Amino acid sequence: MLRRYSGLVLRTAREACKRLSENGRIGGDAEPLLRDVSIDEGGQGWLRVVCRDSSGRGKLVLVLVDGWRPAVIYLEG
């Protein structure tokens, strides 16, 4: 089931890293690394992403998903 929506999950993870870099909290070359994904058949759930830039700085991001759209992105740490 997750494979069917993996493109959306990855785009959402990249968007979270992009928001971090726009806010200056991490370098502009940050890449996402999925940690946990918990999404049900209805598209409700969350994913945790670590955004790490080339200098080694990393931030953990929690993304809430509602109907296969990212609803809210919480920045941790």
CB neighbour list of residue 49: distance below 8 Å, 6 or more residues apart: 13, 16, 17, 32, 33, 34, 35, 60, 61, 63
Q: Where are the domains of the chain?
A: 3-76
The arithmetic mean of pLDDT across residues 18-38, rounded, is 87
pLDDT of residue 25 exceeding 60, the answer is yes
Average pLDDT over residues 7-15: 81
Quick check: pTM over 0.95? no
pLDDT of residue 1: 46
